[in-house]
Amino acid sequence: MASIEPNWISLIWFAAFATICMVAFLVVAGMFPFGSRPDRAKSGTATLLVVGNGLLLSALLVGTGLYGYAELKWSSLIVVTGLVVLFAPGLFEAWPSSLRDGRSGLIVLIGVQILALAALAKVAGTPWASMS
């Protein structure tokens, strides 16, 4: 494994963060355009949740990308990202529809993204400090 990717712990972290990003993207993308959202997600609070999820997703995407760039080989970064894009829709489909299409799912997704951002800040604190 060391000859393929010497930093395999970072590879596992990157795969986890990228999977969260992809599943969150699929949930948030299903809420656009606003007029075609599921009935359970058409309220004003759901709109705020969608916008909040979009902002958290943007931060998580940028952070995950920078972490992967700083820690992994290009080949590992590309292969793992491709695998995540290929298999994350299966995880999305495994979720119950109440979590995919409603306010409760958006609330859960905000919590998951906040935890992922906190873990990313903890794991990537040292590499990001050395990038400047």
pLDDT one-digit tens code per residue, 8-39 = 999 999 999 999 999 999 988 888 776 666 66
User: Could you say which DSSP state residue 37 is in?
Assistant: S
What pLDDT shows up at residue 26? 92
Cα(101)–Cα(85) distance, rounded to whole angstroms? 20
Res. 41: pLDDT tops 90: no
Contact between 57 and 113 (Cβ < 8 Å): yes
Which domain range does residue 56 map to? 8-126
Contact between 53 and 30 (Cβ < 8 Å): no
Report yes or no on 2 lying in a domain.
no
Q: pLDDT tens digit string along 64-88?
A: 999 999 999 999 999 999 999 999 9
Number of domains in the chain: 1
Report yes or no on 49 lying in a domain.
yes
Report yes or no on 1 lying in a domain.
no
Cα(19)–Cα(102) distance, rounded to whole angstroms? 21
Report yes or no on 89 lying in a domain.
yes
Report yes or no on 3 lying in a domain.
no
Res. 131: pLDDT tops 70: no
Report yes or no on 38 lying in a domain.
yes
What pLDDT shows up at residue 104? 85
Res. 3: pLDDT tops 60: yes
